[in-house]
Amino acid sequence: MEERLQKLMAQAGIGSRRHNEKLIEAGRVRVNGRLAAPGDKADPDKDRIEVDGRRLQFSQQKHLYIALHKPKGIISSLEDELDEGRPTVRDLIDVPGHLYPVGRLDKQSTGLMLMTNDGKLAHHLTHPRYRHEKTYEVVVEGRIPQEALEQWRQGVMLDDRLTAPAKVRVVQQQKSATHLEVVMREGRKRQIRRVATILGHPVTRLKRVKIGPLELGDLQPGQWRHLRPGEVAALQKAVRK
């Protein structure tokens, strides 16, 4: 049965569908020796699908689910796009096989990242239409006034359109800094940092502590662990809603 290439690639553990679409656009995917194009379909029982020259295998594979505490200075991708030898989140996890991050954190941010080879779950957790909540601990410069907080909660103009409403709660306020809890269902590039700067209170520290029902817990920077069966079940239940 024919299915879209990006979906088949996800089933083979290559990456999320959005990640796989980029591989196709970059000319790294071939079907029966022919360069694939966005929108192409294939039948895994009949067609030879290759990514970077390696044929995909569709035998049943065990899904892996790993929680990682990303440290500051580590990039949240599978490889260094700039070829500067920068360490990635994949370098931190000593597990064989293909494993990729669900979503991203910028280089200076820390906190929870989910690593998996379950393409279907990754797709549902990262696609904007599913709008799963992510929770962050954020420290910004100065005492942020109530008016700025209300603006953040209701939406700030970013890239010519308003950000989605967010939950923003003051945890602690000092003369030189404000500690916040930010809960979002949207994830534009560096969104929290950019919004805080627009409001006049740049971020000095940002840590993600929750993705849907999955919590960072007591994992220390650089540490990782396999998810417990109950955590996997909770994530799968969340994406079925």
- Residues recognised as catalytic: 106
* Cα distance between residue 69 and residue 219, in whole Å: 6
79, 81, 102: which is closest to 90 by C-alpha? Answer: 79
Q: At 52, give phi and psi (nearest 5°).
A: 55, 35
CA-to-CA dists, residue 35 to 51, 186, 205, angstroms = 10, 34, 44
Note whether 34 and 5 are within 8 A (CB): no
115, 112, 118: which is closest to 214 by C-alpha? Answer: 112
Note whether 81 and 196 are within 8 A (CB): no
* Cα distance between residue 21 and residue 7, in whole Å: 9
Residue with tokens 């994992």: 219
* Cα distance between residue 75 and residue 216, in whole Å: 18
The per-residue b/e assignment along 87-125, b for 16 or more CB within 10 angstroms, e otherwise, is ebbbebeeeeeebbbbbbbeeebbbbbbbbbbbbbbbbb
> CA 158: distance to chain centroid?
20
Give alpha helix (H) positions in 14-97: 17-25
